[in-house]
Structure 1
Amino acid sequence: MSFLTAFVRSLPSIWDGIQITVLATLLGALLALVLSFVLGLAARSRHLLVRGLARAVVEFFRGTSLYVQLFWLFFALPILGFKLVPLACAVLAFGLNYGAYGSEVVRGALAAVPRAQWEATVALNMTPWQRMRKVILPQAWPQMIPPFNNLLIQLLKSTPLLSLITVSDITFQMDQLRSATGDTKAAYLVLLVIYFVLAYALTLCMNGLEALGKARLGQGRA
């Protein structure tokens, strides 16, 4: 059987694999985004204990391998009595790992907001929530988008690890096609193209968010 014929016949399973890859990427990115802000804000806390805990979590997940984290959640966690479905293990591992990196993006972007802006919010008697929502975050957000985009693409490129924990992602499906046809060059070339298209689509979305953030910031200053 030729590779092209097998590829056409496998299109439904390949599409399913793409959907799983995209779902794992988006869910992992959503969890990472939440953790980025939680840990990034905690790292700027006035309380030493909160700052210390945030730094410990960040350094642990940045300093250990995503591969090992994923395998620990999938193989070791059930021994402790907590069993997650494979996709949930992947989303949790992606969220924790990239959330740790993202927290540094948040912390750095907040620190880059001019000190005068922080002082002005205090002078206006704003609450901490009002300061962050109305003044600080609108200025910091556009600076976060490019590094967040890089992390999102890195997360997408980490999804082939899904196939190692029995998740039928696009890498798993293309590997099945490679085994069936014996055509390694064509199978992995198609896989490269699929990942490039997905990465480019995500980049376009993030570029749109960056442009929107800058536009809103410009309107706020006008």
Structure 2
Amino acid sequence: MTEGMFSNYFLPGIWITIQVTVFSALLAVVVAFIIGTLRTSRLWIVRFLSGIYFELFRGTSSLVLMFWLVFAVPLMFRWQFVPMYAGVLALGLTYGAYGSEVVRGALAAVPAAQREAGVALGFTKFQRLRRIEIPQAWPEMVPPFNNLLIELLKGTALVSTIMVADMTYAANLVRIGSNESAPVYTLLLVLYFVFAFVLTRGMRVLERHAKSRIGQAPPRGGGLWSRLTLRSNAGEGTGALTAGGTSR
């Protein structure tokens, strides 16, 4: 694989992969919060309709949905999707359905007393969500959102099947042109790993920031050994207090 192949194929493919990941993730977050919030509604019809969306997109394949948007929609509705937009839409709607369950579970885990306090203060439903429930539920959403984001990144490889020139599509072109499979696909694996690692570190920072806003930030710079030391010291202090109380 020559340097020209990398700059002419891989670099544009990397940029396309970044765009698909970002736009799909933004759409997925919007869908997740809307559907997840609606699934906590007191109205059964709202829960029923949002539940249908969740079950529909959780139970369908992103790849088949892309094919349907690109090949079936023009025949059925006489309207053609741009392949990249079809890929973003399919990934965003699918992973948004997965994320809605994360949002619903995190909101349900907020203590009922917090909601009752908002009602007592005269907050509307939207105000309770914005000021009380979501700030407390957000730190619990970040770790599963991190997993979904990594899965979404890897899922962007599916857009190569609808002729979107992402990294996977570019790798196939370079493999055909250079007749070198091992270095090309090894480089592709490394690129996906690097992107996933960067996203994970960014989500860790976001999680720490979210927890710090509600007073739950873990100590910075402390690993497993420091946490074990803190627990050991806390246990020794408790034992000393107990012993002192017994001796008295």
TM-score normalised per structure 1:
0.94
Match of 1:209 in 2: 206
RMSD: 1.2
Which one has a bigger Cα radius of gyration? 2
Contact 1:174 1:188 in 2 (8 A): yes
What are structure 1's unaligned runs of at least 5 residues?
A: none
| 1:7 Cα offset (Å) | 4.0
Match of 2:27, as an amino acid?
A: L
Within a 5 Å distance, the mapping from 1:17-56 to structure 2 comes to 17-56=13-52
Within a 5 Å distance, the mapping from 1:1-222 to structure 2 comes to 3=1, 6-79=2-75, 80-218=77-215
Contact 2:40 2:104 in 1 (8 A): yes
Match of 2:244 in 1: none
| 1:217 Cα offset (Å) | 1.3
Greater RCO, CA 8 A, separation 6+ = 1
Deviations 1:16-46, CA, capped at 9 Å, x for gaps: 1001001001100100100001100111111
| 1:12 Cα offset (Å) | 3.7
Contact 1:86 1:167 in 2 (8 A): yes
Deviations 1:160-179, CA, capped at 9 Å, x for gaps: 11111111001111111111
Deviations 1:93-115, CA, capped at 9 Å, x for gaps: 01110010000000000011111
Query: Kindly, what percent of the aligned residue pairs are identical?
Result: 50
Counterpart Cα distance in 1 of 2:16 and 2:36:
29
Match of 1:32, as an amino acid?
A: A
Counterpart Cα distance in 2 of 1:193 and 1:28:
22
Match of 1:184, as an amino acid?
A: S
| 1:10 Cα offset (Å) | 2.7
Counterpart Cα distance in 2 of 1:49 and 1:140:
24
Match of 1:177, as an amino acid?
A: V
Counterpart Cα distance in 2 of 1:169 and 1:102:
24
| 1:200 Cα offset (Å) | 0.8
Contact 2:9 2:174 in 1 (8 A): no
Structure 1 runs of 4+ off > 4 angstroms? none
**Number of equivalenced pairs:** 215
Counterpart Cα distance in 2 of 1:7 and 1:104:
45
Match of 2:189, as an amino acid?
A: L
Counterpart Cα distance in 2 of 1:191 and 1:132:
42
| 1:82 Cα offset (Å) | 2.2
| 1:13 Cα offset (Å) | 2.5
| 1:211 Cα offset (Å) | 0.9
| 1:9 Cα offset (Å) | 4.0
Match of 2:120, as an amino acid?
A: A
